[in-house]
Structure 1
Amino acid sequence: MSATRDLVLLIRLGRPKFLLESVLTVTCGIAVVVYLGHPFLIGPWLVAQAFVSTTHLMTQYCNEYFDLEADSAHTGPTAWTGGSQVLAQGLLPARVSLSAAFVLLFVSIAQVAFMPTPATRLLCVAIVALAWFYTAPPIRLNYRAAGEVTTAAVLTVLCPALACLLQIGTLPPLLLAVTAFLFLVMTARMMVMNFCDRESDRSVGKLTLPNTLGPGRAAWLFTGLQVAAYLVLAVVTVTGTVPLLAGLVLLATAPMAVLLCRKLLRDPPSADDPVQANRIARSATVHAAATGYLVPAGLLAAAAARYGLTAAVVGGLLPVLFYTVLFVWQRLSEHFAERARPMPEVSHT
């Protein structure tokens, strides 16, 4: 077994494509700061991004180990659900994933110790604890119908809050307004991921929201979350908490949510049809990513209209550009990897 092959499998085990979410969520916090007229500080941005990405990667390895039984039971894993399948297929020993998770946990804890204020340290401790116990015993939040809310809270509320605290030392109402919207959207999106896994999860006693409520009621809860998200967005836009330009840009994503609700209500995803499950999981991910991307894009556009192209506005574009470059690179890598795969042989008999 070559070292190169092991390294490739270790990287695949960490599912690095999902780290784009943690880049985007920090960027949302930065955009709030810039819109409010504060300067963009590159040092605190890098500190926030390093901590959030390390902790996110830790979570990936932790989940692969503690979710192994459920991933092994999955009959139709997709590109988004069912884990990386590296451990489930026996390509690496399970202890490799746990070891990587512990190394990253210690790195995250070391970063917590160097946070500049008690508030940022306390927030980081909360992020690490929720991330680790998402699947790790004894709490196992995603086994107790709390995984969807936990993921949404960490990614769309606590991580942008950390970025804001490191930049300006406070949590402004604008941050709470945009993160409330993103929280509801992300909770709904995570429900879709667990929809796709519900048969294998149920077989090992994993109680996610779709398994706890059943497909029908879970689909209605998903719809209710989307309705609530856009009602919140409309209210905070009309009241002026969120600038009009940013609010209108985000409201333009509502048709995507409507289509998702129709799909969930008519034909919930199942492992019995992995192609359809993959399609719905991708659509939910694209919707959540679109809203996450348009928050900083809309706020920075509103800031440019309000202040002009100041140094803060230009600096605030740096995290957006960083995310965009990573996103394009990832998509191109996936495209060329797909083209490089050999075509299946067709039998002529």
Structure 2
Amino acid sequence: MLKILFGVARLPFLTLTVLCIALAAAGSWYQQGSLSIGLLLLVLLMALAAHISVNAFNEYFDFRSGLDFLTRRTPFSGGSGTLVAAPQQAQLALWLAIGSLLLVSAIGLMLSALIDWRLLLLGLPGVLLIYSYTEYINKSPLLCLLAPGIGFGALMTLGAYWVLTGKPDALALSLSALLALLISNLLLLNQFPDIEADRQVGRRHLPIVLGPAKAAWVFSALLLACYLLLGAAVWQDWLPAAALLGLLSLPLAVRVIRSLQHAINASSRNQSKGQDQLAAALGHNVLLTHALPALVLLGLVLAKLQGVA
């Protein structure tokens, strides 16, 4: 049973949630010089439950629609394949999704009562997004692009910062916007290998609607926007200058864009070779999506330590 639960929860992907909460915590500590470990652990539990819930719903609905039997799985896309191997456990996946969502709701209501009722303005859309992402949002190209970034950036990271500091500010908005762009881009690229399979079950995301070549330009533009946003936030003193450590990830960003273009070009000549190159681009992009926020986090910590010294 644990193997099934771990599979549909997609444990290896939960590192992104840990990074989002860590970045919110670093921003909170930078701003006020203290950090409530109790609140931090509670927020982390809530965030992990939210991520597990959306993953489990995705596994369940994709199994039920038949998509899991059509996708070409990579380490970064196409689902875990857990329910394909153990179809009799589909109900267990659904119960994990529902149970995790109930835990998110319970913690969210408690934090809203303790800290600020306006946190519900983030929590209620978050609950709706978790449930509706696979079944409904994936049928709208624009919503499908924006939803992951809204979930991890605007809702999870901003909400965590709000809980830890008592109010949102320009630093929080900068961090959440940066993560929103990065994570929407992560999911955008992860859709490329599944274009044909997704089309067969009625999904409509940008790689389907625009085609891979044009969707790749959208991906590149959003990636550029991440670095422009980082520079603008430092220029406006919303983030400390040390946050520019994030620029150290630029060579990796260039590599991701080049890998994606090579994969698209190769696919027109040899589909199998193009898929292999696309898998490499996906891996580099996962690394980038972790590296850029981690470097910004390091910058916040160094800036605070320098200020304390």
1:84 and 2:80 equivalent? yes
Task: Report the identity percentage.
Answer: 27
1:164 and 2:165 equivalent? no
The letter for the 2-side match of 1:120 is L
The letter for the 1-side match of 2:285 is A
> Residue 267 of structure 1 corresponds to which residue in structure 2?
263
Equivalent residues in 2 for 1:120-135, closer than 5 Å: 120-135=119-134
> Residue 208 of structure 1 corresponds to which residue in structure 2?
205
Match of 1:194 among 180, 191, 201: 191
* Aligned mates of 1:198, 1:154 — CA distance in 2: 23
Match of 2:56 among 32, 36, 61: 61
User: Does the CA-based 8 Å contact 2:83-2:89 persist in structure 1?
Assistant: yes
> Residue 281 of structure 1 corresponds to which residue in structure 2?
282
Displacement after TM superposition at 1:51 (Å): 0.8
The letter for the 1-side match of 2:238 is T
> Residue 89 of structure 2 corresponds to which residue in structure 1?
93
> Residue 109 of structure 2 corresponds to which residue in structure 1?
113
The letter for the 1-side match of 2:260 is L
Displacement after TM superposition at 1:59 (Å): 0.9
1:29 and 2:24 equivalent? yes
Query: Which entry has the higher C-alpha Rg, 1 or 2?
Result: 1
User: Does the CA-based 8 Å contact 2:19-2:294 persist in structure 1?
Assistant: yes
* Aligned mates of 1:112, 1:176 — CA distance in 2: 20
Displacement after TM superposition at 1:150 (Å): 0.8
Return 5+ residue gaps in structure 1 as ranges: 1-5, 309-349
TM-score by length of structure 2 reads 0.90
> 1:185 and 1:106, CA in 2 relative to 1: closer, same or farther beyond 3 A?
closer
Displacement after TM superposition at 1:288 (Å): 0.4
> Residue 292 of structure 2 corresponds to which residue in structure 1?
291
* Aligned mates of 1:175, 1:100 — CA distance in 2: 31
User: Does the CA-based 8 Å contact 1:9-1:91 persist in structure 2?
Assistant: no
TM-score by length of structure 1 reads 0.80
RCO greater where, 1 or 2, for CA within 8 Å and sep 6 or more? 1
* Aligned mates of 2:148, 2:277 — CA distance in 1: 24
Displacement after TM superposition at 1:295 (Å): 2.2
The DSSP-based 3-state class of the residue aligned with 1:179 is helix
* Aligned mates of 1:66, 1:179 — CA distance in 2: 28
The letter for the 1-side match of 2:293 is G
* Aligned mates of 2:279, 2:126 — CA distance in 1: 29
* Aligned mates of 2:69, 2:305 — CA distance in 1: 50
> Residue 342 of structure 1 corresponds to which residue in structure 2?
none
* Aligned mates of 1:307, 1:129 — CA distance in 2: 42
The letter for the 2-side match of 1:278 is A
Displacement after TM superposition at 1:272 (Å): 4.1
The aligned length equals: 298
Deviates further, 192-201 or 176-185: 176-185
User: Does the CA-based 8 Å contact 2:259-2:280 persist in structure 1?
Assistant: no
* Aligned mates of 2:76, 2:233 — CA distance in 1: 32
User: Does the CA-based 8 Å contact 2:181-2:222 persist in structure 1?
Assistant: yes
Equivalent residues in 2 for 1:179-258, closer than 5 Å: 179-247=176-244, 249-258=245-254
Match of 1:39 among 34, 43, 62: 34
* Aligned mates of 2:68, 2:179 — CA distance in 1: 28
Task: Name whichever structure is richer in helix by fraction.
Answer: 2
> Residue 312 of structure 1 corresponds to which residue in structure 2?
none
Displacement after TM superposition at 1:199 (Å): 1.8
* Aligned mates of 1:185, 1:263 — CA distance in 2: 17
